[in-house]
Amino acid sequence: RLLPPRATNSRSSAVSDVYKRQIGGFPFLLTAGPFLNHNARRRSTMKEDAARLISLVDLFPLLRIAVWGDFILDEYLYGFTRRISREAPVMVISYRNREYALGGAGNAAYNLAALGVEVEAVGVVGRDETGREVRRLLRRAGIADGSILAEQEFATPLKTRILAGEE
């Protein structure tokens, strides 16, 4: 599903080197590149680049972006290392806690939303606990999940990382 552009205000004309174009009914931003002052055809200074970057970031709240891809749940298991196993050269870990985060396209959507962009997630998750957690995290971040399909035969990818340190 393509998103219509938001209503613009005077902030959208603040940056002269950003061009708005409709491609297939979806708004895209095209820039002249980070290090080229296209008006003078010379390399810009760091101060000019910083001002341009700030102007571009100020436009983020005006954007609506659909993020399409693989929505993965990242699981982080935290614990303490107590010893090395006698049976194999691996550490024995005492479990402390677990955290979940959006991975894959979900991470990209989360980062855009954190910058003020209105984001619509487009993809597939399973009708499993992992898929339900992905959708909960999307909604908690203010990301629209109406274009996420929940398929019975699909297993939502789960990536587990085990992080351990000393007590």
Does 109 or 15 have the greater pLDDT score? 109
Predicted confidence at residue 144, as pLDDT, reads 96
Contact 67, 105 (CB under 8 A): yes
What digits encode the pLDDT tens for the residues 35-69?
Answer: 444 555 567 788 888 888 888 888 889 889 999 99
Contact 94, 166 (CB under 8 A): no
What is the share, in percent, of the chain residues with pLDDT greater than 90?
Answer: 54
Give the distance from CA 84 to its chain's centroid: 37
Does 83 or 11 have the greater pLDDT score? 83
Q: What is the mean pLDDT of the chain?
A: 81
Rounded Cα–Cα distance for residues 158 and 34 (Å): 36
Task: Kindly indicate the confidence band of residue 147, based on its pLDDT and cuts at 50, 70 and 90.
Answer: very high
What digits encode the pLDDT tens for the residues 71-102?
Answer: 999 999 999 988 889 999 888 999 999 999 99
